Amino acid sequence: MTDKQADTQANTLLEVKHLNVDYLASNGTVHAVTDVNFVLRRGEILGLAGESGSGKSTLAYAITRLLRPPAMITSGEILYYPRGDDDSCDILQLNSRQLRSIRWNDLAIVFQSAMNALNPVMNVGAQIMDVLRAHRPEMGPDSRKKRAIELLQLVGIAPDRLRSYPHELSGGMRQRAIIAIALALSPEILIMDEPTTALDVVVQREILTEIIRLREQLGFAVIFITHDLSLLLELADNVAIMYAGRLVEQASSRDLHQHPRHPYSYGLLNSFPALHGPLRRMSGIHGSPPDLRAVPPGCAFHPRCPLVFSPCRTDLPLLRPPVQGEDNGRLVACHLYDPRYNAEPPSTTDLARKYEALVEGSVTQ
């Protein structure tokens, strides 16, 4: 093991290996997550991006084992390396008591819609304090109240809101309240499932600034799930892009912004109009995501890809470094970067040209 690898090892917080999640329905099995592998390091913000139905939420719920039937985790390991310890535990193998002790203590989740995630008949303070009561039995009611007020202030909610009901708070405040509850036990990992999608852009900005500040202060890792890639470019350290249940690209956000490799990543990035620069035609991505009961053979993206060529229709591309021998963590699942199929990997301008050609209509699918 090299020094670098050892260093990475020590820093690893969560390791997902070969995770598969299926939805068993009477009209066909939906492969929501197929063979997903990634690593989350301490204090890292990992962005998980993809269209609706790409499996990102399913992945998040699988990690916390909150999936409801008919969803089932059919194979895989989710190794969690608790604070400072050497030994890991497989979250999928924990019994219910162990699971309950990990939940919220180490692994907290921030839901998409705060209005739906808060119990409408309990006030906000009670919802913070019952977590404390369940996991910190040594705390008395006074210290619980103190901690609750502390948490509310941490996210910028006035303490007099302790006894407020969810319907009495504004949308932004509810989201903050959810974040406060999530941070109650100082977890190691915070999973955020589209926490700002339901809010307007101004509040969105406030919440995101809040998250960055809290992360700097408390040092937790974040898995941030969203379909809004531009958000991740600002917020995340690393980004993983999912398509049809598989990871298709992994890179640092900077790298991704400057040089997206996978044609899908390029398409996603360029679906957002730039604030500056010359006017250009927007292409978006032709077609729509596949039905997960019948994923296209070979590369799932091939029916929509402007750079499709023959192996794409038959062979499944695996996640591998785009440049041979490089080990900086960049991974892409595309035959264009596989020297066995394609000698010269495309550059960004190549991708740009192909997409524009799509718009012009000169490339037929």
Partner 1 sequence: MRHLLRRILFYACAVWVAITLDFFIPRLAPGDPVAALIGKMSTKGYVTPAMQQTLSAEFGLNTHDSLLAQYFKYLGNLLHGNLGNSIQYFPTPVTQIIAQDIGWSLMLGAVAVFISFTLGCLFGIIVAWRRNSALDTILSPAMNFLSAIPYFWLALLSLFIFAYLLNWFPLTGGSYDAANINPGWSFDYIGSVIQYAFLPALTLVISSLAGWMLTMRNSMITTLSEDYVLMAKAKGLSEGRVMFRYAARNAILPNITGFAIAIGAIVGGQLLTEMVFSYPGIGYALFQAVGEQDYAMVQGVFLIITLAVLGANFLADMLYAYLDPRVRVERSA
Partner 2 sequence: MKTQEISGPASAAPFALQPGDPIYARVLRVLLMIWHAMTTSRKVAIGSAIVAFFILVGLFGPVIMNTDPNAISTLFITPPTAAHWLGTTVVGQDIFTQLIYGTRTSVFWGLGTGVLVTLLSVMVGLVAGYFGGWIDDVLTLLTNVSLVLPALPLAIVLAAYFPRGSLTICLVIVFTNWAWQARVLRAQTLSMRSREFVTAARTSGEHTWRIIFVEIFPNEIGIVVAGFVSTTIYVILTWTALEFLGLGDRTIPSWGSILYWAQQAGALGGGLWWWFIPPGACIALLGAGLSLINFGIDEIADPRLRRERPVKVKNIKKAVA
Minimum CB–partner distance for residue 135 and partner 1 (Å): 6
Q: Which does 60 bind (CB under 5 to 8 A by kind): partner 1, partner 2, none?
A: none
Instruction: Report the site for partner 2 in 325-354 (rule: CB under 8 A).
Output: none
The residues near 365 (Cβ < 8 Å, ≥ 6 apart) are 286, 287, 303, 304, 308
Q: Would you say 239 and 49 are in contact if contact means Cβ atoms under 8 Å apart? A: yes
Site string for partner 2, 13-42 (x = CB under 8 A): -----------xxx----------------
3-state secondary structure of 13: strand
Q: How far, in Å, CA of 129 to CA of 219, rounded?
A: 22
162 binds partner 2 (CB under 8 A): no
Query: Exactly one of 11, 17, 42, 67 binds partner 2 (CB under 8 A); which one?
Result: 67
Q: Which does 72 bind (CB under 5 to 8 A by kind): partner 2, partner 1, none?
A: partner 2
Question: Applying CB under 8 A, which residues contact partner 1?
Answer: 64, 66, 68, 99-105, 108-109, 111, 113, 116-123, 130-131, 134-135, 165, 167-168, 181
Q: Which does 73 bind (CB under 5 to 8 A by kind): partner 1, partner 2, none?
A: partner 2
70 binds partner 2 (CB under 8 A): yes
**Cα–Cα distance list, 28 to 12, 72, 76, 123, 243 (Å):** 37, 14, 21, 42, 19
Minimum CB–partner distance for residue 128 and partner 1 (Å): 10
Structure tokens at 36: 């997903």
How many CB atoms neighbour CB 140 within 10 A? 10
Give the residue from 73, 96, 77, 100 showing the smallest Cα distance to 88: 77
Select from 64-72, 174-182, 183-191, 238-246 the region that touches partner 2 (CB under 8 A): 64-72
DSSP code for 10: H
Choose between 73 and 132: whose C-beta lies nearer to partner 2: 73
Structure tokens at 261: 């490799």
Minimum CB–partner distance for residue 120 and partner 1 (Å): 6
**DSSP-assigned states of every residue in 206-257:** HHHHHHHHHHHHH--EEEEEES-HHHHHHH-SEEEEEETTEEEEEEEHHHHH
Choose between 61 and 264: whose C-beta lies nearer to partner 2: 61
Q: Which residues bind partner 2 (CB under 8 A)?
A: 24-26, 61, 65-70, 72-75, 92-93
